[in-house]
Structure 1
């Protein structure tokens, strides 16, 4: 059952718009910093309704803007600091989950990214070399020669020439995490009002409408934590673009099958194709496998029917079977999807204006399961006027320019999708790094 909707006018210290991970992590760390602070979370649906509860379950150190792009923009020290902080954030999520009794199937088993041809192998080697430049020494290139372990079995199962392995990633169940976090912040004294939609905000006030009627929340601080849904809301609009990512899950497989495939509990996986795919072994031994491929919809519209696209589901099922031939045809039991938020420069932000009392975080481009935690810690420190290593990170107070108006936004977003698909075809045909991919790189945070 949904939590009670807000009724009548209310005065609170902090009003958080959005009951996903960004909003809940912000509430959690604010309460830890100041237990007396009154905090109210407004959620249009239920806590975790959006990407926070339906994502691929990768709690990783990935940041949408590449480390090299960050170095070009902010310098080497800033890029290194953000990369290091993202690695630490994976452990922070696990620490809080354990400390607060949030059973979310958190297992830190790292990420294998398979290189299945010579072009992808070169990409894997480049990624490992680039990590060394930023002080990350435990990202390794896995090759078949001389290995007799799970990684070797995974290379054989996927017919891969090599793979990169990054230990800084954990598998978890996102819905369990966000629901557990909602429970924890309520126990700390935070009010979560579900079925309560923020329809307008300004410094010191949020107007809402919902199952409990209409009302006004007066507050010192407004936190906007709506990710992709901000595209349809006043005050954010063209600052974010909703891009859909879809997923499937298979029936459970036996431990022996998983052992043969070389995918251990906690290990997530992908490959070096340009049209992103991502997967994990769930706690109950299913493949949970997702990817891009769904088109952008005119006017940044978000509708429930966009969560399900048979063409994309079929593509995901065939891709999973192509990646792991031994389990091709395994029945798919679940299909779902939803929008994620993409800023114009693929650069997320955690921002706070002390003059207006308005904070905003988002633009994670699908890498939000860990980045939301960093956003929550950062916003809590900004709001409580702390100056720390987190508040000095280069994404703090970054402002992306707005997306173009229609029809340019529609054309650009969907041509980018077509270009990504073309890049994979180009590399498979030519055996060389894609020219299309190089042209798209500046538009995708690289």
Structure 2
């Protein structure tokens, strides 16, 4: 809990229950819904990052391609407008996960990931997208003694594998960067992560797509996908879209390809945003280089500074709802807000008195291998990219290129990857899914409390290649 007599929950009393990023006067007006039938070369389903990058990259590859995008609500309203704004080069949810799953490809995957992040930064400049992009890097911090050893080992292994720009920070060095009495060490990925305003990225991609001639229809959910002799058709509430090809970017929402649904377990993640810090408050923390941070526990926090000197503080709880539903009433979880507020002031006791301005949550498309998977359906006419598991801000651009490669039918360096050609293990049906997730969460909590030691359940999950994370 916080120092002194302050009750952390009081800092939540004036918080607005909606995503800070979407509470922005620059939010664009919604576009009209589709009424009647449409015809196009490529239909993109979903107006988040995956869909928007697919539409944009398709037009950049071939300006003559006729592209339509449909979105069930408004572009960027879901995970793409609610996330923490950590834009990572990693395509594999960190190089350690990539090493465990695709060791022979790790060098190629790291190189492709850095090229993707560089390409993303170049695209922002090319299309004039102002989303507060800062190449600050990210520090993984140790808050328990066993995590110090793990970070040292990670730094040494990253160096031996040629993973660039990872620097180990001891207690004094990490606290010189960001001062918290809970920090014991850190591992700074100096160039592989950028911070940005997630909603403005989505809105900027939407504007860029429109400028290139993409026709976007909002408040237009796709309800049914079927094959036609010359392509596919997607039914919407007031019409249909006929296309030669379709790309699906629906992620946490039920896929139009039903056989893919067992591969995704929607989990809910929650975040708090503080009011703007005064110069004195910010000086008490340091943070002059504005890195993103996350701690190294199984139940971890992620936190960062915004352009207007607020602190976003999120993570820790991973909430799965029986049946895997995605519903608006799940977007808020006061018990988690209360827990996060207490953790915030334990991390930064020098900020006692700071209040929170916004609270929110939303669904993440978790899969069992922690990183995206890809493929085609309907005889190669439909492509999908899904399962980004909280690492989609940068990786969705790569996923968009994979889908376009797959739809082209041509072999590329991306489509030849084992990561692209393989699938994760699906989650079991209910009630086994909920029971398994509950046991896994209990085991992860126990590991955090017991020096990181993984019990037999977690070791069995590791051997099976199954995981659960956000």
- 2:345: which partner in 1? 321
Q: CA deviation at 1:70?
A: 4.1
| Aligned-partner SS, 1:202 | strand
| Correspondent of 1:142 among 169, 173, 183 | 169
| Correspondent of 1:57 among 74, 85, 88 | 85
Structure 1 291/43 Cα, relative in aligned 2: closer, same or farther at 3 Å?
A: same
Residue 216 of structure 1 pairs with residue 240 of structure 2: yes
| Correspondent of 2:214 among 187, 190, 195 | 190
Structure 1 290/335 Cα, relative in aligned 2: closer, same or farther at 3 Å?
A: same
Decide whether the 8 Å contact of 1:252 with 1:286 is kept in 2.
yes
Q: CA deviation at 1:173?
A: 0.7
In the aligned structure 2, how far is the partner of 1:68 from the partner of 1:117?
A: 20
Structure 1 117/260 Cα, relative in aligned 2: closer, same or farther at 3 Å?
A: same
In the aligned structure 2, how far is the partner of 1:235 from the partner of 1:208?
A: 18
- Equivalences for 1:191-340 in 2 at 5 Å? 191-203=215-227, 204-210=231-237, 213=238, 215-230=239-254, 234-264=258-288, 266-340=290-364
Decide whether the 8 Å contact of 2:129 with 2:201 is kept in 1.
yes
Residue 110 of structure 1 pairs with residue 119 of structure 2: no
Decide whether the 8 Å contact of 2:257 with 2:377 is kept in 1.
no
- The CA RMSD measured in Å over matched residues stands at 2.3
Decide whether the 8 Å contact of 1:252 with 1:285 is kept in 2.
yes
Decide whether the 8 Å contact of 1:40 with 1:191 is kept in 2.
yes
| Aligned-partner SS, 2:323 | helix
Decide whether the 8 Å contact of 2:304 with 2:313 is kept in 1.
yes
- 1:125: which partner in 2? 152
In the aligned structure 2, how far is the partner of 1:112 from the partner of 1:75?
A: 24
Structure 1 84/360 Cα, relative in aligned 2: closer, same or farther at 3 Å?
A: same
| Correspondent of 2:183 among 147, 155, 160 | 160
In the aligned structure 2, how far is the partner of 1:259 from the partner of 1:313?
A: 26
Decide whether the 8 Å contact of 1:43 with 1:196 is kept in 2.
yes
CA shift digits 1:98-146 (9 cap, x unpaired)? 221111010011111111232010121122123223311310101245x
**More deviation, 366-375/54-63:** 54-63
Residue 178 of structure 1 pairs with residue 202 of structure 2: yes
| Aligned-partner SS, 1:299 | coil
Structure 1 unmatched runs, 5+: none
Matched pairs, number = 434
In the aligned structure 1, how far is the partner of 2:35 from the partner of 2:289?
A: 45
Q: CA deviation at 1:434?
A: 4.4
Q: CA deviation at 1:385?
A: 4.0
- 1:390: which partner in 2? 414
In the aligned structure 2, how far is the partner of 1:86 from the partner of 1:277?
A: 24
Q: CA deviation at 1:75?
A: 4.2
- 1:89: which partner in 2? 116
**More deviation, 330-339/124-133:** 124-133
Residue 443 of structure 1 pairs with residue 453 of structure 2: no
Decide whether the 8 Å contact of 1:107 with 1:265 is kept in 2.
no
In the aligned structure 2, how far is the partner of 1:399 from the partner of 1:225?
A: 17
| Aligned-partner SS, 1:217 | strand
In the aligned structure 2, how far is the partner of 1:232 from the partner of 1:201?
A: 6
Structure 2 unmatched runs, 5+: 1-28
In the aligned structure 2, how far is the partner of 1:376 from the partner of 1:158?
A: 42
In the aligned structure 1, how far is the partner of 2:125 from the partner of 2:279?
A: 26
Residue 7 of structure 1 pairs with residue 15 of structure 2: no
CA shift digits 1:264-308 (9 cap, x unpaired)? 354100111110211110011101111041421111111111110
In the aligned structure 1, how far is the partner of 2:121 from the partner of 2:468?
A: 27
| Correspondent of 1:22 among 44, 47, 50 | 50
Decide whether the 8 Å contact of 2:41 with 2:245 is kept in 1.
yes
**More deviation, 375-384/65-74:** 65-74
In the aligned structure 2, how far is the partner of 1:180 from the partner of 1:288?
A: 22
State TM-score, norm by structure 2.
Answer: 0.86
**More deviation, 406-415/173-182:** 406-415
